[in-house]
Every structure is written in structure tokens, then in C-alpha cells.
Amino acid sequence: MTADRQTFVTHLECSMTGERYEADELHGLSRVGRPLLVRYDLDAVKAALPKATLEARQTDLWRWRELLPVRHTGNIVSLGEIETPLVPIPKSSGSANVLVKDEGRLPTGSFKARGLVMAVAMAKELGVTKIAMPTNGNAGAALAAYATRCGIETIVLAPQETPEVNIREIAAQGARVYRVNGQIDDCGAIVGRGAAEGRWFDFSTLKEPYRIEGKKTMGLELAAQFGWKLPDAIFYPTGGGTGLIGMWKAFDELEKLGWIGSERPRMYAIQASGCAPIVRAFEAGEEHAERWEDAATVAAGIRVPKAVGDFLILRAVRESGGKALGVGDPAILKAVDDCAKKDGLLLCPEGGATLAAYREALRTGEVDEEERVVLFNCATGLKYPMPEANAAVDRFAEIDLGAL
């Protein structure tokens, strides 16, 4: 990573129309208002990168550099994007074949680091000096950390109900952060207005093309960790859906490199019952999802009433033979509690949603316990309120040891 290197990006294209856009220019959404996808010369990657070369590298996000968009290594920004571990949770899941991909180990404690490290590096490469973004918390923290690290000015807008710990983390890492009296798409509207006026660059989910390339590394990593034979099913907590879309893209690219076959995991998009636009659209057979009104769930990271990449999420779920599934807040909280108390792993509520959905899917026969399943725990459980402990204060001299 110390020298400039051959790159393989050929162009960008509209995810809806296929219209072509030049690489190496600043882009937002396509002309029809849809996400742009980065395309690579995969034949050239195949020639340049033998699988053994990849496997000999340090197992961090940047080992995949030939499949990533950054052209100049000097623009790489990093806080140590390690490969996240797969942790079995046999007791709380009821299956020895369920693995949690623990994304809370990434910088700033969430999988948002994957998308933002890439988007910020590309913003640096393309000369952006001021960024604004709406966030439910974790994306803002990741943006703040990486943008601060390379000297880009950042403004973050969060819904009023965003937990204080997230607001403080964003501010501590050098961004200016504001609470907004509305949902995340209301925050997004402000960001869009300012971007239209030329005040800043809009970093909303999927509105710049590179977060998806960073999130794609979840799929690349899974393939490598599973020895190039993908799991049977993936349960993914779905708000904006960048990661699900990114993994789906990663699998296609890996197949074109000849590193995996044509088999795909069933992709399960997991939402909270209190904000389930993708589930509703999936069940109705729609290609797009209507905005979900009065969104409410403990799992703030998937409290996204309207996703600009809705059709890409629904397409991946359907092509894979998966489903979009909703789970209620009580089941989410119960799953978080069970996983910590039985398997010693503290999930975030969104991760809890995937476990709750898996348990329900096991009950209904949608999955069976022999299947190899990956649940995404998208952030460290430490950022979220935990139930009050039963901790008593005792004067040590007076403690009755027999009662402990």
C-alpha cells in the first residue's frame, strides 16, 4: 500500500438503466435518481491477482484492493479495518451451524466503517473538502473518524431520538453534529438541499457510489472465510441495504474471477416490524417500497422508512430465493438478552433482529439447523442501552459471603 498501483475501475453505471458514467469524476445519483455501481475490468483483475496472492496477504479490508475503487495509495485512509471474526452462538440460536459475523470489531464499532472508509478515501481522491450526511448514529461516527483523519470538514444530521452516546462519539471525532426533529429521511432532505445549493457533498446512503464498494468487502470476506464456498443463508439487518446490495455485487464479481461458483446464499433482509417497508413490498410483490410512516423500533440502525436502493435489495432477495422478514421489538430484545446470557456475546439490537428472525425461521422450517447460516451483528452492543443490572452496593466489611 505504499506506492501507486494499477487500477481496474473502468466506469460507473446506473443500477436502474445501465447508463454509463465516467470514473474519476465526482458523482451522486444517476440521472434517473438511482445509485451508481462501480464496474471493473475483471478479466484484468483475474490476470493480475492469482487467488494465492490474495490469500498470502494480511487479512484486512485493503487486501481486496484490486476490487476496490481507490486509485492512488496515498489516498487510502485507514484506522485498521480488520477482517471481522465469525462467532458460533449454539445455545441462543439452537444450531451449531449459525455464525455471527461480528462487525462491531471494526473502527468506530460498526460495519459503517467499511462503507465510509471507502467513500472518504474516494472523496479525498476526488478533491471533496466538505461532506454532509444524515445518520442514525453509527454511519456518522465512521464518517467523522475517517474524514477527520484526512482533514475533510464534516456535518452530520441525526434524528432527534438518536442516543446521546452516538451524538457524543460523532462530536468527539471532530464532526459538527446536529439533532433534527424528524426521521433519517428528513435529515437526508436537508443534506440534499444543501448539496443542491453547492454547500457540501452529499454522503447519504447510496447517494455516492463508493460506500457500496466498501460494504461489498463483507461478501468478499465471507467467501474467503468459508473457503470459497458460500454459506447457505445470510440474515442481514436491512435499513438502507447497502451491505446486502454490496454482498450481492461481490458474489457476482467473485464468480467472474472464477473464485466461487454460481451458487448463492439465500439472502434474508431483516427489518423491525415497526419499520418494514422492504418486507411489505416483498410480500406484495412490488419492485419498489413505499415510505413507511411513523417508523418506530429499538433497532435504530434499521429505522429507515424509505431506501433509495429498495429495488436492488428486493431484486437480490428474490434472485437468491430468500425473503424479507419482519421481527417485533420484544423478540429483538429477547434475542439480545439470550445471546449475551447463554453464549456470552453482546449483540446490538440490529444484530439481535437477525437472531430473532433466524429463530423464527427455524421454527417455521424456512431454514433447518443443518444449514450454515451467517447472522450479521452490525455494531458492538456496547453502544446501546443495556438492561439495568441487579448490582447491589455492599460495604465490603459487611458482605455475607454465603449469600453471594
Residues of span 313-352 touching its own copies by CB under 8 A: 337, 340-346
Which SS3 state, helix, strand or coil, does residue 86 take? strand
Minimum distance, C-beta of residue 220 to its own copies, in the bound complex (Å): 17
At closest approach, how far in Å is the CB of 195 from its own copies?
10
CA distance linking residue 24 with residue 9, whole number of Å: 9
Rule CB under 8 A: say whether 165 interacts with its own copies. yes
177 vs 314 by CB, closer to its own copies: 177
Which of 18, 285, 365, 387: binder of its own copies (CB under 8 A)? 387
Q: Which residues, 46 to 105, sit near its own copies by CB under 8 A?
A: 58-60, 78-87, 102, 105
What lies within 8 Å, CB to CB, of 301 at 6+ separation is 110, 136, 137, 138, 237, 239, 348, 349, 350, 378, 379
Amino acid at 210: Y
Residue closer to its own copies, measured from CB, 19 or 186:
186
* Minimum distance from residue 387 beta carbon to its own copies (Å): 7
Between residues 17 and 59, which has the closer beta carbon with respect to its own copies? 59
Interface with its own copies (CB under 8 A), residue from 9, 126, 171, 333: 171
The amino acid at 123: A
Distance in Å, CB of 80 to its own copies, minimum? 3
In whole angstroms, the minimum distance from the beta carbon of 376 to its own copies comes to: 14
Q: What is the DSSP string of 315-371?
A: HHHHHHT--EEEE-HHHHHHHHHHHHHHHS--B-HHHHHHHHHHHHHHHHTSS-TTS
Nearer of residues 47 and 389 to its own copies, judged by Cβ: 389
The least distance separating its own copies from the CB of residue 137, rounded to whole angstroms, comes to: 12
Minimum Å gap between C-beta 394 and its own copies is 6
Q: Cβ closer to its own copies: 36 or 345?
A: 345
Contact 369, 97 (CB under 8 A): yes
**Cα 290–291–294 angle (5° rounding)?**
140
Residue type, 128: V
Distance in Å, CB of 389 to its own copies, minimum: 3
Nearer to its own copies, 191 or 314 (CB): 191
Query: Could you give the CA distance from residue 350 to residue 98 in angstroms, rounded to a whole number?
Result: 16
Identity of the residue, 102 or 125, whose beta carbon is nearer to its own copies in the bound complex:
102
Helix (H) or strand (E) holding 139: helix 138-149
- Site residues for its own copies, window 135-164 (CB under 8 A)? 144-149, 155, 157-158, 160, 164
**C-beta of residue 268 within 8 angstroms of C-beta of residue 234:** yes
b/e code 186-198 from CB counts within 10 Å (16+ = b): ebbbbbbebbeee
- Residues within window 277-306 making contact with its own copies, judged by CB under 8 A: none
* Helix or strand run (H / E) with residue 45: helix 42-48
Among 93, 136, 320, 380, binds its own copies (CB under 8 A): 380
Binding-site residue total for its own copies (CB under 8 A)? 82
For residue 347, report the phi and psi dihedrals to the nearest 5 degrees: -85, 160
> Phi/psi of residue 267, each to 5°?
-95, 120
* Cβ partners under 8 Å of residue 364, min gap 6: none
Q: Rounded to a whole number, what is the largest CA-CA distance in the chain?
A: 75
User: Would you call 102 helix, strand, or coil by DSSP?
Assistant: strand
Q: Which is nearer to its own copies, 174 or 328 (CB)?
A: 174
Is the CB of 253 or the CB of 338 nearer to its own copies? Answer: 338
Interaction residues for its own copies, span 184-203 (CB under 8 A): 186-187, 189-190, 193-194, 197, 199
The rounded distance, in Å, linking the Cα atoms of 115 and 113 is: 6
Instruction: Pick one of 167, 233, 298, 316: the residue that binds its own copies (CB under 8 A).
Output: 167
Q: Which of residues 95-114 bind its own copies (CB under 8 A)?
A: 102, 105-109
Q: Which is nearer to its own copies, 44 or 86 (CB)?
A: 86
- Is the C-alpha dihedral spanning 305, 311, 316, 322 positive or negative? positive
Task: For the segment 255-274, give every residue that binds its own copies (CB under 8 A).
Answer: none
